[in-house]
Structure 1
Amino acid sequence: MRTVLPEPLRGLEELILNLRWSWHHETLDLFQAVDPALWEAVGHDPVRLLGEVSAERLAALSEDRRFLRRLKDATEELHDYLTAPRWYQRLAAAGGEAGAGDAPPRAIAYFSPEYGITAALPQYSGGLGILAGDHLKTASDLGVPIIAVGLLYRHGYFSQSLSPDGWQLEHYPPIDPNGLPLRLLREADGTPVQVTIGQPQGRDLHAQVWLARVGRVPQLLLDSNVEGNDHAARDITDRLYGGGGDHRLLQEMLLGIGGVRAIRAYCRISGHPAPEVFHTNEGHAGFLGLERIRELVSEDGLDFDEALEAVRAGTVFTTHTPVPAGIDRFPRELVQRYFGGGNEEAEAPVDRVLELGAENYPGGDRTVFNMAVMGMRLAQRVNGVSELHGRVSREMFGGLWGGFDTAEVPIGSITNGVHAGTWVAREILELAAREAPEVVESGRGWDEVRRIPAGEVWRVRRALRERLVHDARRRLRESWLQRGASEAEISWIDDALDPDMLTIGFARRVPSYKRLTLMLRDPERLRELLLDPVRPVQIVIAGKAHPADEGGKRLIQEIVRFADAEDVRHRIVFLPDYDMDLGRALVQGCDVWMNNPLRPLEACGTSGMKAALNGGLNLSIRDGWWDEWYDGQNGWAIPSADGLAGPDRRDALEAGALYELIEDHVSAVFYDRDSSGLPRRWLEMVRHTIATLGPKVLATRMLRDYVEEYYTPAAVSARAMAAGGYAGARALAAWKRKVVKDWPRVAVEHVESSGADSPHVGTRLPVRVVVDLGGLDPSDVAVEAVYGRVDESDALVDPSHLELTELAGGDGGGGARRYVGEVPLTRSGAFGYSVRVVPRHPLLAGRAEMGLIALPAAPHGMTNGNLR
């Protein structure tokens, strides 16, 4: 039941229905003023607040002039936030009218299976969802015109508790959308919008669309719990990452296919510009490309190949996992059943659908349909989420671009970032506003952080640590009572943890590769660190295992049993039900953020970024973002033994290094105090960390990178394809068909060079090549010399490329063509070169896009000496 607000308080509903409150402190202050005690009781959930506040209190507030002034100021400030030009609008103005030329896209559709916006809207499980939430919030702050699409899960992910013996227990509390800051998307006549997708046996799956407002960003959440669906169909959106193969496949069909249809309905009703670019956040939403192909075939008269080119041009695909087990793969026959037979659509024949997800490359499994592979085939631009993850992804998916070296696989990277308004403590923001205002006002002047007085930094850090200690004690008490302990048994919790002690945080999902229990490798050594009489350490831990992951649950039980021991339970605690609120408390209050995954299996690891912005130092394996931005002064790198030892030996070596770092470096610096009681060296590292990492780890940097490096080029490509009634898409599809047909006859027939006996740095090496184009025109290809340093195995390392020039009148007979060029010799040492032929077309995003390459039958080049 929704509260009926007195007319003077109607602005409260407007504020609540825009999720900007989740990162806007002044609005949260206003909600708290409604009823401070009730605000705490409802866990800072404004929807629950209005549902439970008394009519008498509302009546009093409606006559409270001071409160009404604050409410008016808050609503006016929100209106200004939603309408004033921001960074993106200025960018579009500088680039000309949006939608023309090389201007940024009019709108971007962003698809994700989960979103972490606020704990009051529990539609997330871990890093993927939190990143998606930060993406939307930052898009709102920058004015980027994103429309977000997801599913509304009636039970969210799950709530976690512990059994008496420390085993993870899952609970799925029902979620009533009417009790969330959502509204149904409705037609002009008030009828709820529904989207429909087909299923086998002629059944249809219907879904209604809930609309959330994330600042300036509309978020569409599809919900299958509607009349017209049978019981099984109603349960499609029951829980995040739940159910078996059919269930998950239907979720992903609804997200991708239904999501595109929901966007079309929203744009028609609201007048929002239609997206030019579609961003697929991981493979779960990959079917959106099929729906867009169907649209183009049925509405614009393109054939499948032409529609595929138009769709690819405007699609960005981001992979978030370096772990094959993290990718959804379905049996081919299951996908065939849902997309074939009576459910097959003429615009998307089932055999073409199956081709998109086929692992038909060396080492692939021919029996599965790979959602990430489909996502990459449907996108002209693909990226990982850190530099290292980009390299790992190029190795994982290199088979899709067979023949090219791993370094040339067209998967780039944009390192993730975090939304400061969500994750940075208010005390830190206020300190920065006072001492380094340019950072807060414009995002510049980060070096000013170094001049903030050390005592002020220490004061704020101590306050945040103390707040974490009190919150941890509350959560610990609730957990022990839930596990069956009596009040008499838990009096020790009053003194658990210490607000003046070095506090290490560890919180993440609990798959085996994140190694929750590496710290327990030598339990006695850990005890010594925790109980050190001079430099003690305390550790706060949180994490959830997937409900089906028995191994992960055993890891949690192992850590809980250790933390239950009477001699250490005041120094190490496991806090159940890891969510956004607990995550925020941890990254704000911990002095050190610990992360020890198996390298290189951490795609990014943004929690360490959040800790850094709050003045925490990282203690981490060099994986994910930490691999590229660790500088020796912003924390500590745990040495990794990857590739040097077997799994057990590797864990032993890395655990030993972890203990040594904590004892001899981390705690030593933390407890080294000057005459005024300040850890001067520690505080220098804190200020250095914020000053140097601040501009890098913010999601504003991340989103600008997406706009400039991916969204805008994708929009330009999409416009080129669509111009003239999709003339570009039709021409490119026809050209690709010709190239694929003739490519088997393309050959490098002869390569020779001169002056190779005594090469010198600064000279050039003439190269002459004869190529059989196999019926292709010279304009269809690029003939390139590939050259550079070679390693011990005679392979080129980070090679350069030189396009060779066709000799005029250089027909070599029989369709052969002659090409020449001069390779620059710019560095001494071992040198080598080769020659290749690759397809070339102005609408391709890069040379490797088609995965086609012709190489000499035998190797050529100099690899048997050094350049002088």
Structure 2
Amino acid sequence: MKAIRRLHVRTVLPETLAPLHQLALNLRWSWHPPTLDLFESIDPQKWQLCRREPLTMLSLLSPAELERLAGDAEFVQRVQEAGAGLDRYLTQDRWYQRAAQDSTEAFGSAYAYFSPEFGLTAALPQYSGGLGILAGDHLKSASDLGVPIVGIGLFYKSGYFRQRLNAEGWQQESYPVLDPDDLPLALLREPDGTPSVISLAMPGGSRLDAYVWRAQVGRVPLLLLDSDVETNDASKRDLTDRLYGGGGDQRLQQEMLLGIGGVRALRLWSRLTGAPEPDVYHMNEGHAGFQGLERISELTQSAGLSFDEALRTVRASTVFTTHTPVPAGIDRFGVNQMAQHFGGSAQLPGVALSRLLQLGAENYEGGDANVFNMAVMGLRLGQRANGVSQLHGEVSRGMFKGLWPGFDQAEVPIGSITNGVHAGTWVDRKVFDLASEFINGDVLGSGGPWGHVDEVPTDRIWATKRELREQLVAETRDRLRKSMRARGSTSAELGWIEDVLDPDILTIGFARRVPTYKRLTLMLRDPERLAKILLDEERPVQLVIAGKAHPADDTGKRLIQEMVRFTDDPKLRHRIVFLPNYDIAMAQRLYPGCDVWLNNPLRPFEACGTSGMKAALNGALNLSILDGWWDEWFDGENGWAIPTADGVDDDRRDELEASALYDLLENNVVPTFYDTDEAGLPTRWLEMITHTLGTLGPKVMADRMVQDYTQNLYLPAARAGWAVSENDHAGARDLAASVERIRAGWPSVRVEHLDAEGVSDTPQVGESVRVHAYVALGDLAPQDVTVQVAFGRASETDELTDVELSVLQHVDSYDGGKHRFDGELELSRTGSLGWTVRVLPAHPLLASDAELGLVTNPF
């Protein structure tokens, strides 16, 4: 029989156990071992049955069991202490509050963080891969640091997908429906108890309604919008059913709900709770770009600003983070599609369709005039932008340099903040327990134990790594057994699984999404050579592999199938395993259990990659192509760099880089692992582990990342936002008028003549040159521009590199809008040098020389 109606009956806790409800709802439990211990102590068997999820655990308890627990004085005391501990965590001053007290400048009171996915815990599957995991770690570290962030995303009833394999090794997807009432979520409600609803206009005069769910991530609220509302038609109710599940209009409408609806959800949140309106809006990828359009619309209506004035206000307080190093990874919608969704009755008040289309236009060399580019809109809406590693910042500046014509690539205003990982989530309990035994202080705190790793005996480190391998072996066998049964094997055929993997063998992990550029099957380039490495009798190697392909990516699925067929070989299957349904729960066993983390993308297509960071924090060494974060922090002692073969065709490149991988395994990695002293300890390997933990530990922490965002982007954006908004947006009005005047007058700007005094026939270091620049400005005034002299090394073609810039001062004006600017150029370097002069727009509220994309050079 099937139920015709569902209702959710919640557990009623005795008053003495009431803190358990708050402890279960606040996702701090996902990175707080004492809270997990408390719930496990209720009933260890039920704890495993409910997959270690506190809210589910409470739902399994009968009234009699609750009564028994309420009568257990010791347990009640532990509950009360845990509740008090959570209260202290939520209210005490942390890094952000202390920094604000020590600063003479004002700090923001709230920052909005928009992301299409959030990877927080396996209990709330709202993520597909690295972007979501990064977003989850960002919120967790913001909570630990006390940074006042509020997250905004979508609630996907079927999440991404669950992966299983069929008998042929082909990926199969399923979409179990999530009941939000069973999850650590609370529905936003009006004072009268009715569910709160936000609405968006849709094409054809229709409307999209959405509920707003709140997840509490420590101190950070996360608002998730849900279109499964009875007032919507069937297609709109399904809009948020799946993460990245649809294309075309569905993807566009999801992003409209995230951006436009997300801002409306923030306003709702403030109205219901009194929370402050955000000072800064952070777009985690271009998916959330429409938030800027909604804010422009608000300002044109509430403050009476023009579109351009509102745009300047929004830009000042917006941060944009790009995560993709390839143009194909960017969302692009057709211009006609955009017109359908943002024109006519669906138009946002104050946002004319023509102005909107300009924001996402690829109006640069190589661009497509028929598409609307979400990343381009993000850059035009965000005064501050960054990539997620130093190399990715460089790649991004190359990708988007067409938006700033006339500027060198290095001057494109896209910086970088390298990603980090949340140690409390990803470092295994055994590692923290070992650190606690030998290191004083709070090893779970933001500082962590990394600076004191040398105080831990190496034999204990090695023993702990074996325990972690043993833990992974058990997990792998259990998951493999379930996978093989799903593929059609019977229990009688699976006795061989008891011999899969060995806790005393060098263990290599490889797990990630499976787009082509990540090269899942590079290791299979020479299958016989790989088999020989795996099966070596004296120095064997074992591989644990996992990954999901996008449901529409048949190429990725074929790569998985190729790998699975290799792992199915009876001669090899005890040494190499592919585990389906890679998720947070699997990762939390996989990273700690590996000795080596393998990563072999096509450089430079890995924006950052954080899986190797998580493995490193658990005492693993990285074996990776120099891409993403590894290009930045590989030092020769924390692992191995796989050489790259640039400049050859892809097939040849794969062959060369696979051969280099095999060489490293055979000649470096394997011998180092198995070369032991009289006590059986691999001394060189342990030296590399302790070096890795001590040097990489502080760098790869999400706490460092969030502090970087706060100090380098959030606080400057907040102050810029205040500057344009104060006094009835006087700054925004002035800036918009200045930009309009400068753009109109820029065609008349030119460098007419340059003079230099004091240059000898044989100039020497320490001499100076007096530079005179005669510049025609037309109707513009000297204060509308900055005149710079650029001095650097000159190539054979006179291209300048390693450039130093200095500003020339206005000294005289002449008839016809002509002016003279002077300055001193000190010859501080030797070699073949050169200089030039250029003119740039100037305004105190511009964030960079290149912000307006305007520059005039002498030639």
The alignment's TM-score, normalised by the length of structure 1, stands at 0.97
Match of 1:277 in 2: 280
Match of 2:192 among 189, 194, 200: 189
**Residue 112 in structure 1 maps to residue 120 in structure 2:** no
TM superposition shift of 1:288: 0.3
After superposition, give the CA deviation of every residue in 1:302-330 in whole Å (9 maximum; x if it has no partner): 11000000010000000011011111100
After superposition, give the CA deviation of every residue in 1:478-530 in whole Å (9 maximum; x if it has no partner): 00000001112211100100000000000000000000000001101100100
Q: Distance in 2 between matches of 1:668 and 1:547?
A: 40
Alignment of 1:95-106 (within 5 A): 95=103, 102-106=105-109
TM superposition shift of 1:619: 0.3
2:141 counterpart SS class: helix
Match of 1:456 among 448, 460, 468: 460
Match of 1:391 among 381, 394, 399: 394
After superposition, give the CA deviation of every residue in 1:711-754 in whole Å (9 maximum; x if it has no partner): 00001000001110000000000000000000011001112334
Alignment of 1:703-742 (within 5 A): 703-742=706-745
Alignment of 1:178-257 (within 5 A): 178-257=181-260
Which residue identity lines up with residue 255 of structure 1 in the other structure?
L
Alignment of 1:289-328 (within 5 A): 289-328=292-331
Match of 1:758 in 2: 762
Do the aligned residues in 2 keep the contact of 1:322 with 1:393 (CA within 8 Å)? yes
Match of 1:11 in 2: 19
**Residue 534 in structure 1 maps to residue 538 in structure 2:** yes
Q: Distance in 2 between matches of 1:812 and 1:852?
A: 24
TM superposition shift of 1:223: 0.3
Q: Distance in 1 between matches of 2:645 and 2:28?
A: 44
Alignment of 1:838-857 (within 5 A): 838-857=840-859
Match of 2:483 in 1: 479
Match of 1:862 in 2: none
TM superposition shift of 1:439: 6.8
Match of 2:81 among 47, 55, 73: 73
Which residue identity lines up with residue 337 of structure 1 in the other structure?
Q
**Residue 23 in structure 1 maps to residue 31 in structure 2:** yes
Match of 2:819 among 793, 814, 817: 817
1:437 counterpart SS class: coil
Do the aligned residues in 1 keep the contact of 2:200 with 2:207 (CA within 8 Å)? yes
TM superposition shift of 1:442: 6.3
Which residue identity lines up with residue 842 of structure 2 in the other structure?
R
Which residue identity lines up with residue 564 of structure 2 in the other structure?
V
Most deviating of 765-774 and 459-468: 765-774
Q: Distance in 1 between matches of 2:674 and 2:340?
A: 64
Match of 1:570 among 574, 595, 598: 574
Do the aligned residues in 1 keep the contact of 2:780 with 2:817 (CA within 8 Å)? no
TM superposition shift of 1:196: 0.2
Do the aligned residues in 2 keep the contact of 1:104 with 1:707 (CA within 8 Å)? no
Identical columns (%): 59
Which residue identity lines up with residue 781 of structure 2 in the other structure?
D
**Residue 443 in structure 1 maps to residue 447 in structure 2:** yes
Match of 1:632 in 2: 636
TM superposition shift of 1:403: 1.2
Match of 1:495 in 2: 499
1:785 counterpart SS class: strand
Which residue identity lines up with residue 660 of structure 1 in the other structure?
D
Which residue identity lines up with residue 346 of structure 2 in the other structure?
N
Do the aligned residues in 2 keep the contact of 1:838 with 1:852 (CA within 8 Å)? yes
Most deviating of 659-668 and 448-457: 448-457
Which residue identity lines up with residue 843 of structure 1 in the other structure?
L
Q: Distance in 1 between matches of 2:634 and 2:231?
A: 55
Match of 2:404 among 389, 401, 404: 401
Match of 1:786 among 790, 814, 828: 790
Most deviating of 50-59 and 190-199: 50-59
Do the aligned residues in 2 keep the contact of 1:439 with 1:446 (CA within 8 Å)? no
TM superposition shift of 1:790: 2.7
Do the aligned residues in 2 keep the contact of 1:756 with 1:765 (CA within 8 Å)? no
Do the aligned residues in 1 keep the contact of 2:435 with 2:449 (CA within 8 Å)? no
Most deviating of 203-212 and 10-19: 10-19
The number of equivalent residue pairs is: 849
Do the aligned residues in 2 keep the contact of 1:417 with 1:701 (CA within 8 Å)? yes
Which residue identity lines up with residue 129 of structure 1 in the other structure?
G
Q: Distance in 2 between matches of 1:225 and 1:26?
A: 36
**Residue 82 in structure 1 maps to residue 86 in structure 2:** no
Do the aligned residues in 2 keep the contact of 1:770 with 1:812 (CA within 8 Å)? no
2:555 counterpart SS class: helix
2:11 counterpart SS class: coil
Q: Distance in 2 between matches of 1:264 and 1:598?
A: 43
1:225 counterpart SS class: coil
TM superposition shift of 1:445: 7.0
Q: Distance in 2 between matches of 1:71 and 1:770?
A: 76
Which residue identity lines up with residue 838 of structure 2 in the other structure?
R
Q: Distance in 1 between matches of 2:359 and 2:696?
A: 40
TM superposition shift of 1:767: 2.2
Which residue identity lines up with residue 41 of structure 2 in the other structure?
A
**Residue 837 in structure 1 maps to residue 858 in structure 2:** no
**Residue 286 in structure 1 maps to residue 305 in structure 2:** no
Q: Distance in 2 between matches of 1:368 and 1:587?
A: 41
Which residue identity lines up with residue 478 of structure 2 in the other structure?
R
Question: Any unmatched runs of 5+ in structure 1?
Answer: 97-101, 858-868
1:838 counterpart SS class: strand
TM superposition shift of 1:451: 3.0
Do the aligned residues in 2 keep the contact of 1:104 with 1:711 (CA within 8 Å)? no
Match of 1:671 in 2: 674
Match of 1:429 among 428, 432, 443: 432
Do the aligned residues in 2 keep the contact of 1:107 with 1:276 (CA within 8 Å)? yes
1:218 counterpart SS class: strand
Match of 2:58 in 1: 50
Q: Distance in 2 between matches of 1:30 and 1:289?
A: 44
Do the aligned residues in 2 keep the contact of 1:38 with 1:53 (CA within 8 Å)? no
Which residue identity lines up with residue 514 of structure 2 in the other structure?
V
1:353 counterpart SS class: helix
Match of 2:772 in 1: 768
The alignment's TM-score, normalised by the length of structure 2, stands at 0.98
Q: Distance in 2 between matches of 1:185 and 1:437?
A: 43
TM superposition shift of 1:759: 2.1
Question: Any unmatched runs of 5+ in structure 2?
Answer: 1-7
After the TM superposition, which parts of structure 1 deviate over 6 Å for at least 4 consecutive aligned residues? none
Match of 1:655 among 644, 654, 658: 658
Do the aligned residues in 1 keep the contact of 2:17 with 2:80 (CA within 8 Å)? no
Match of 1:864 in 2: none
Do the aligned residues in 2 keep the contact of 1:277 with 1:711 (CA within 8 Å)? yes
1:505 counterpart SS class: strand
**Residue 556 in structure 1 maps to residue 560 in structure 2:** yes
TM superposition shift of 1:793: 4.2
TM superposition shift of 1:68: 1.1
Q: Distance in 1 between matches of 2:185 and 2:833?
A: 63
TM superposition shift of 1:795: 1.6
2:622 counterpart SS class: strand
TM superposition shift of 1:756: 5.7
1:524 counterpart SS class: helix
TM superposition shift of 1:762: 2.0
TM superposition shift of 1:392: 0.4
Do the aligned residues in 2 keep the contact of 1:518 with 1:651 (CA within 8 Å)? yes
TM superposition shift of 1:798: 2.5
Which residue identity lines up with residue 858 of structure 2 in the other structure?
P
TM superposition shift of 1:438: 4.3
Q: Distance in 1 between matches of 2:493 and 2:831?
A: 72
Do the aligned residues in 2 keep the contact of 1:194 with 1:207 (CA within 8 Å)? yes
